[in-house]
Structure 1
């Protein structure tokens, strides 16, 4: 049996709650929330700079890696609140003049390895039974969008996939799409 590669909405909630109890709660909760909401790859989020975010217009410019399509996403209200709290705290961090949104404890760019370690630790604290990786948050985003009824093309654009075959796994496994198949008039 294949290992599950995504988190449920309830597990995402538990992960965010666990991050609030960590050493750097504002940074980590904001990082995890943004990774999930925008389906970021870990390097995309670690490379996020101030020029990618416009808090006045409530948008974020997503620069996809792996030849993905660049796009602009709206920032949601809960995310903006977390982002503002983190950016206020970030002003007092070593490296506060660095261009990256998310800094390491030493004031440099947050690394992929630090993110892997952070997520694994919070996954354990949250009682999540599978070993977490940052890419699971990207997959969780795709599945969550499908579960909310987003069509395959919208998910494709949102995640920056050039090939729709990379997107269909999210909608093909959504049981909600079969509701009503055996209803009267469809026999």
Structure 2
């Protein structure tokens, strides 16, 4: 179980509950939601700027790394609520003028290492069977989309994969895809 590379949806819910009980509940809950829902790599999420978010039109620009395809994703209600809660707290922060979405306690851009620590701490408080890390949320997104019956090409575009071979992992492991075969 400890070699698993993804989290289940119920484990994500446990992570979110642990984040809500933490020192920075609004930031950490928002970070986990958005990382999962958009299938982000840690370097993608810590590079989000306020200018990437369009609350008026309910969307966010996802700048993919590793030669991935950048795109615009919708903001969903649950994450929008978490985002608005974090933005309200962030507005009172001494470095509220910073361009970065996720700030550290000192007001700097949240580092990759700190995001790893946040997820590890939340997974330990949630008593998950694995120490969660950001890439597990990316994989969880892919598997969750496949479990919802999303087309492989849609998942490919959503996660920004240029090569479909990186996407078939999520759909090949899903026996639900055969339910409507006959």
TM exceeding 0.5: yes
Q: Alpha-carbon deviation of 1:178?
A: 2.6
- Give the gaps of 5 or more residues in structure 2: none
Alignment correspondent of 2:85: 85
Q: Deviations over 1:71-99 (max 9, x none)?
A: 00000011111111110110111311110
Q: Deviations over 1:13-35 (max 9, x none)?
A: 10000000000000000000000
Q: For 1:51-70, what aligned pairs fall within 5 Å after superposition? A: 51-70=51-70
Determine whether 1:27 maps to 2:27.
yes
What is the rounded CA distance, in whole Å, between the counterparts of 1:123 and 1:2 in structure 2? 12
What is the rounded CA distance, in whole Å, between the counterparts of 2:107 and 2:151 in structure 1? 41
Alignment correspondent of 1:4: 4
Q: Alpha-carbon deviation of 1:2?
A: 8.2
Q: For 1:121-140, what aligned pairs fall within 5 Å after superposition? A: 121-140=121-140
Q: Alpha-carbon deviation of 1:179?
A: 2.5
Alignment correspondent of 1:154: 154
Q: Alpha-carbon deviation of 1:50?
A: 1.1
Instruction: Name segments (4+ residues, structure 1) moved above 3 Å.
Output: none
Question: How many equivalent pairs are there?
Answer: 182
SS at match of 2:122: helix
What is the rounded CA distance, in whole Å, between the counterparts of 2:113 and 2:174 in structure 1? 32
Alignment correspondent of 1:145: 145
What is the rounded CA distance, in whole Å, between the counterparts of 1:132 and 1:85 in structure 2? 24
Q: Alpha-carbon deviation of 1:56?
A: 0.5
Q: Deviations over 1:117-148 (max 9, x none)?
A: 11011001111101211100000000000000
TM-score by length of 1: 0.94
| Cα RMSD for the two superposed structures | 1.3
What is the rounded CA distance, in whole Å, between the counterparts of 1:172 and 1:85 in structure 2? 37
What is the rounded CA distance, in whole Å, between the counterparts of 1:104 and 1:177 in structure 2? 42
What is the rounded CA distance, in whole Å, between the counterparts of 1:25 and 1:2 in structure 2? 26
Structure number with larger C-alpha Rg: 1
Alignment correspondent of 2:168: 168
Q: Deviations over 1:19-78 (max 9, x none)?
A: 000000000000000000000111111010011100000000100000100100000011
Determine whether 1:14 maps to 2:14.
yes
